[in-house]
Amino acid sequence: MPTLLTTGYTEAEFGGVTVLIGAERGAYPYANSVLVRGSAETLVIDPSLSLVDSAPPADMALVSHAHEDHVAGLGSYKVPVRIHEKDLAALRSRRVMAASYGLPPEATEQTATMLRDHFHVRDRTDATGFTDGTVFDLGGRTVTVVHLPGHTAGHCGFLIEPDGFLFVADIDLTSFGPYYGDVGSSLTDFEASMRRCRAIDARWYGTAHQRGVIEGTAEFSERLDAFAGVMAKRDATLLTFLSEPRTVDEIADRRLVYRSDVDGPHVLPVERRTAVQHLSRLVGAGRVSEVEPGRFRAT
């Protein structure tokens, strides 16, 4: 993997919230970060790769979840770091983070090296946990944790008041769709988290990647519908493929997540975990049955 450039960011203001738009509109491997200033303290959310060489001052760093593109800029901050307790171990240890992707042993070791060399990930043993509903009072402005699991077990959003800004992190509304392929991911939790986001009335909804900031609940709901629709398309693809009995490995080879031209050691493990979750849901709904051990068919 070539060395990733830390090409800086651009700023966009939404009330008292500053979005630090990463390189390439925050597309992976970059991401969008958020700076929140109060009268007493300033905090940064998800310091990304684009902040490595030009991090703005902050008194605290919050992390939405323990993925490399959301923590690459943490090394620029010698301040308290907080993350949901269910992702805390992965933030404290680069090797735990690498293992959370559920790759074969050799690929896991290579990933740990990649996290260190290309994303500047270091063990943040000083990091501490928070839980759903934790409030950070910055003086005239608060940041409230909104636990939104599914992408990872500890994935969180942050509601910033009085601005009415909800940062939804990797409920990112991209055409790729929801990602729930890690060891600790959950399709059903991701669906519940999207419902929770929909129920929060905000003025602005900020995403970690290309979609940027969406204004208004109507526009956000429309984009969230399209994002959730990718899950329904995966169900439909799977049901069509199961017109005859198939194994999980055959489904993984068919691919529900990645295009056929995408390669890498992560592809089949992610496809397999995704397939198992969709199968479980469809079996529970009576739309798929296990016709013989390890082989499934649409009913």
Each as own residue / partner, the long-range contacts of residues 195-203 (CB below 8 Å, 24 or more positions apart, any chain) are 196/146, 196/148, 197/146, 197/148, 197/157, 197/166, 197/168, 197/171, 197/224, 198/224, 200/146, 200/159, 200/166, 201/164, 202/159, 202/164, 202/165, 202/166, 203/14, 203/15, 203/163, 203/164, 203/165
Choose among 72, 62, 60, 68: nearest CA to 9. Answer: 72
Task: State whether residue 274 is helix, strand or coil.
Answer: helix
* Predicted confidence (pLDDT) at residue 93 exceeds the cutoff of 90: yes
Q: Are 63 and 81 in contact (CB under 8 A)?
A: yes
- Region for residue 164 given its phi and psi (left: phi exceeds 0; alpha: psi -120 to 50; beta: otherwise): left
* Predicted confidence (pLDDT) at residue 178 exceeds the cutoff of 60: yes
Please, is 211 exposed, middle or buried when counting C-beta atoms within 10 Å of its C-beta (0-12, 13-18, 19+)? buried
Q: What is the average pLDDT across 183-191?
A: 98
pLDDT at 8: 85
* Predicted confidence (pLDDT) at residue 7 exceeds the cutoff of 90: no
Q: Is the pTM of this model over 0.85?
A: yes
Q: What is the average pLDDT across 205-226?
A: 96
Give the dihedral of Cα atoms 121, 115, 177, 170; nearest 10 deg: 0
Percent of the chain with pLDDT over 70: 98
Please write the tens of the pLDDT for every residue from 275-296: 999 999 999 999 999 999 999 9
Task: Please state, in angstroms and rounded to a whole number, the distance separating the CA atoms of residues 171 and 180.
Answer: 11
Higher pLDDT, 161 or 6: 161
Cα 143 from chain centroid (whole Å)? 19
Q: What is the average pLDDT across 97-120?
A: 97
Residue type for position 96: V
pLDDT at 2: 46
Q: What is the average pLDDT across 106-120?
A: 96
* Predicted confidence (pLDDT) at residue 204 exceeds the cutoff of 50: yes
